[in-house]
Amino acid sequence: MARPAIRPTRRQFLKTSAAVAVGAGATRPFGAPALAQRPKLVYWCYQFLKSSDDARSNFAQEWAKKNNVDLQISMVPLKEFLPKITAAIEAKATPDIIESDAVELRARGQLLDVTDIYKKLEKTYGGWVGNSPKIMLEPDGRVHHIMYGFQGFMLMSRDDLVKEAGLTPPPATWVDMLAYAKKAQKLPRIFGMGIPVSNQTDSQVWEDMMKSYGARLADEKGKRIVLGDYKPQVWEFLDFFTEVWKAGVLPPGVTTWDNTMNNSTYQSGKAVFILNPITLSLWLEENNPELLAKTGHYTYPKGPKGLIQPVTFGSRAIMKYTKVPDLAKQFLWDSMEPGKMDREHGVSQWGPVLKAYLGFDVWKKKPFMKGLIDLSLRGEPQGYPDVFNDAWREQHTNTTISRMLQRLVVDNWSRDKAFVEALDVLGKIYSKYAV
């Protein structure tokens, strides 16, 4: 005969539960298990070139294992970084460490001071390369992000086609580049210059060109727009651009190209010259070595007033809401160790930021990587000769100079009208930050 089930009363149930809980606690008198004690670190890793991304995330995984850290890595493409971090900041659920150029977050007080790491790295590894200090140091001497690599746009040239046209690469000036492009292109299959003139930031290479004609956007403090004082230089540049447009060296569609189209145009062999970071060459190395062998890598051609060669960079920063600042700093420090960086540079698009990295074998092994040394040593911070500040960054995102060019060729505006609109837009942007 089955015994009837006895249901415990609520009081009995609570009593038993409490006794079980106390008993369970007593068996672990020295605190929670090691697994629960593992500190957690959330790391947003910049995603662009697979080999480089893998190298950095693999290091992070190994580091976490070695240091008993519960690491959560998210690979974030550059294009998605701002939307994601904006939401994270507003929700106060930020990662601990981020990889980006970090500048927009620094200005908004979202980053932890890492001056101590900056100084320690400088002292230990022979000092910083090129303009790294100018990029990292703020006017008050503090540092909020640690650069791990330079990158920048270079002139990539189909040297085989240039030589076939009876010319010697590289073209020395922008005017020479146009002449080369006209002669070396093979329409309608191969176009001379694969450069966007769209609303995407890669189109701002035209701003660099304009500056090599002697113009600048704002005064030396980066507060007041002075482009209006440089009308003759801008006019000369606009004449050059109009000539480029009329020569038919730009492929159809450049006015709506996104930041990948110059890459794909070159990869498919449809452009003689493009301006692009070395990421493309690393892709070619793996996927199209024949095309890489035909490709020359050079600094920008010069303008009438000299060379403007800007550099961008990759850097790591610690978000100010982190609960593990010391651990995050430890990660930043360990991730700059030369042995690790040597391995990483071999598969990455980054140029050296510390002098200890200048002796790495990779700069000798891969001829196309040599250009990165030159770029790192001589490259100026983005925006040069303008100050790289929030106002410059906003006009850059707004692609102000490329829009001025689009007015000329898409809307058939006069130079005066397009120039006046550009001045108005620049004035509006800079006046917001002038206070």
Partner 1 sequence: MRTRESLGGLALLAPTLLLLLGLVLYPFCYAIWLAFSDKTVGSPGQYVGLRNFIYVLSWPQFSAAVTNTIVFTVCAVAIKFVLGMAVALVLNQRIRARNFFRAFLLLPWVMPAFVVYLVWRWLYDPLAGLINYALLDIGVITSPIAFLSDRSTAMGSVVVAHAWRNFPFYAISFLAGMQTISQELYDSAQVDGASRIRQFRHITLPGLYHIIGVVLLLTTIQTANAFEPIYLLTGGGPSDATMVYTMLVYVMGIMNLRLGEAAAVSTLFLPLLVGLVLVVTMLLQKKANA
Quote the tokens at residue 319. 């978000």
Q: Which of 352, 401, 407, 430 is in the footprint of partner 1 by CB under 8 A?
A: 407
Q: Which of 265, 276, 322, 376 is in the footprint of partner 1 by CB under 8 A?
A: 265
**Interaction between residue 410 and partner 1 (CB under 8 A):** yes
Buried b (16+ CB within 10 A) or exposed e, 226-245: bbeebeebbebbbebbeebe
Smallest gap from residue 353 Cβ to partner 1 (A): 26
Smallest gap from residue 116 Cβ to partner 1 (A): 23
Pair 318, 328: CB distance under 8 Å:
yes
Smallest gap from residue 426 Cβ to partner 1 (A): 12
Helix (H) or strand (E) holding 345: helix 338-345
Which residues in the 186-245 window bind partner 1 by CB under 8 A?
188, 198-200
**Interaction between residue 263 and partner 1 (CB under 8 A):** no
- What whole-number distance in Å separates Cα of residue 311 and Cα of residue 221? 20
Which residues in the 28-87 window bind partner 1 by CB under 8 A?
82-83, 85-86
Among the listed ranges 37-45, 167-175, 222-230, 397-405, the one in contact with partner 1 (CB under 8 A) is 397-405
Q: What is the largest CA-CA distance in the chain?
A: 107
Question: Smallest Cα–Cα separation from 47: which of 3, 80, 83, 6?
Answer: 80
**Interaction between residue 339 and partner 1 (CB under 8 A):** no
**Interaction between residue 421 and partner 1 (CB under 8 A):** yes
- What whole-number distance in Å separates Cα of residue 423 and Cα of residue 426? 5
160 vs 394, beta carbon nearer partner 1: 394
Question: Smallest Cα–Cα separation from 117: which of 149, 148, 143, 150?
Answer: 143
**Interaction between residue 100 and partner 1 (CB under 8 A):** no
Q: Which of 258, 285, 342, 374 is in the footprint of partner 1 by CB under 8 A?
A: 258
187 vs 293, beta carbon nearer partner 1: 187
Phi-psi domain of 28 (left: phi exceeds 0; alpha: psi -120 through 50; beta: other): beta
188 vs 359, beta carbon nearer partner 1: 188
Binding site for partner 1 (CB under 8 A): 82-83, 85-86, 89-90, 104-105, 108-110, 188, 198-200, 251-256, 258, 265, 268, 270, 394, 397-398, 403, 406-407, 410-411, 421, 424-425, 428, 432
